[in-house]
Structure formats: structure tokens, C-alpha cells
Amino acid sequence: MLQKLRQRWKVNGVNLALILVTFATGGSLCGYLGRKLLLLMNVDKGFLWVLLYIVFITLLWPLCVILISIPLGQFNFFRSYLTKIWGKMSGKGAKTAKTGQKHVAIFASGAGSNAQQLIQYFKDSATVHISLIVCNKPGAGVLHIAAREGIPVLLIEKERFFSGDHYIPALQEAGISMIVLAGFLWKVPVELIKAYPQQIVNIHPALLPLYGGKGMYGQRVHEAVLAAGDTESGISIHYVDELYDHGAVIFQARCTIEANETAASLAAKIHRLEHEHFPKVVEELLKAKA
């Protein structure tokens, strides 16, 4: 049973134990507070007492488990967990693909701003469905986006990704036809690239082939561009091959670097270019492969 819970919640043994402790402690606290409120209201035990107790428990339980989860380090899990429950109750749960839609998996490691733009862009698409969020970092912001949007998550582990089946069976089972890397920091294994030839694309925050390669991501890229004294930067959307930031470039967009530019201000310009162009380019690629 515990192994099934680990697989279902995609957590290790320590986190599973802390989650179960949070459930138990939060439930006990919830029951205690519910009884205290009824004592303060001076309600006699009977039908009304039971009815009010159920109402109090229902209202207090989410607050209690969130409160307990903070010192136990499980806040992110329970925030996502409660978001999923609310989504099911409100009819905003996981969305199913329509017949004929292409299934896309987004790989991301961080906050997920590009993932959010892709999800929003294809939300009402008749031909494209964001079917899966793949993430290598428990607690990453993109997981909260997935929970809010009702998109299934595949939380991957390093050993299986690099030395096991590379999650190829899981992607194939989900019917994935394209993989989009949106701030994914692990190098994609050769076997996964072979399983999805010319179907894995990445976005890089510079004008490749400049400022690419291992360790070149985020602020590091912008700082390198400014240190070199370049007068422009931009984004590159490219196919993924066996090397970092090496695959054929599909699209580039540029921005001017001002005399007083900082890494933060350049990053803001790059983000605007990413959000404007990335979803459109992905859409064009999917159309071309139809």
C-alpha cells in the first residue's frame, strides 16, 4: 500500500512518512478544534451537533493540514493536493484531449512561465492538447501551474531518466507526439531523442550558437552577453540533439541591448520574446507535422 502511495504521489519514503504524519496530525487538530467550537456554542449532542461538527470539520481540515505541513516541509505537496481536490469539486479537474488533437508534453524544471504561456495559448485549441507536465524538481513552480490547470504531472528521477527506460514507455502511453523543453535543465538522453526524432524542441535565451552549452542557462547567459559587450541578444528555438544547445535552429528573435542594460532588464526583454514567439513556433511545427 505504501509503495502504491509513493508511486501515486511521486514522492520518496521520507516525504511519504511526513505526508502521512501531516494527514494524521492535521485531522486530529481539526477534530479538536471542531469540538472546541461546539463547546463554545453550547450545542447539545444530537442531530444539530453532528451536522455542525461535519460542517466545521469540512471547513477546518484544509486549514489544519496546510498549517501542519509548513513545519514538516510538505506545504508544496498539500497546496497542490488541495488544488486538485478543489478542481474536481468545481468541475475544473484534468482536461481530456479531443479526438484528433496532438498530445504535447512540456518538460520544465523551474517556475514555469513559458509552460504557462504554452498552456494558455493552446487552452482552447482544436488541434493541440498539453497532455503532460514532466518535471525533475519536486516543489517546482511549474507543478503548481499543472495542478491549477488540471494537467497530469510526471515527476521524473535521475537514475531512470538517464540509465533506465528514460520514461519513453510513459510518454508513449500518454500518446505524446512532441516534447517541448521550457526551462528544463537536464540533458536529454540519446535514447529519448531517437524515440522522438525531430520532435523535441527547446528554447534558449540567447542567439545560438553563441552563449550555449553546458551550464549556460538563465542569468548566466545574460551576464555572459553583457560581459562580452554585445549590442543585441535574443532567443533561439531549436531541435534537441545529443549536445547542449546544438540542434538545428528553427527560429530566432532579437532585441537591442541598451548602454545601461543589466542582466535583470535583459532577462525581462528575453522573457517577452519567449512568451510572444514560443507558442506560435510550436504551433507551426505541429501543423507542419500534421
Q: Quote the CA–CA distance of 70 and 226 in Å, as a whole number.
A: 40
**274 backbone dihedrals φ, ψ, rounded to 5°:** -60, -50
Burial 180-214 (b: 16+ CB within 10 A, else e): bbbbbeeebbeebbebbeebbbbbbbbbbebbbee
Catalytic position from the list 129, 204, 238, 277: 204
Asked if 166 is an active-site residue, the reply is no
The terminus-to-terminus CA distance of the chain in angstroms comes to: 43
Beta strands in 136-263 (DSSP E): 153-155, 176-181, 200-204, 232-239, 249-256
Question: Which residues pair with residue 129 across a beta bridge?
Answer: 103
Residues 94, 123 contacting (CB under 8 angstroms): no
For 52, residues 6+ apart whose C-beta sits below 8 A from its C-beta are 38, 41, 43
Residues 204, 225 contacting (CB under 8 angstroms): no
- Among all residues, which ones are annotated catalytic? 204
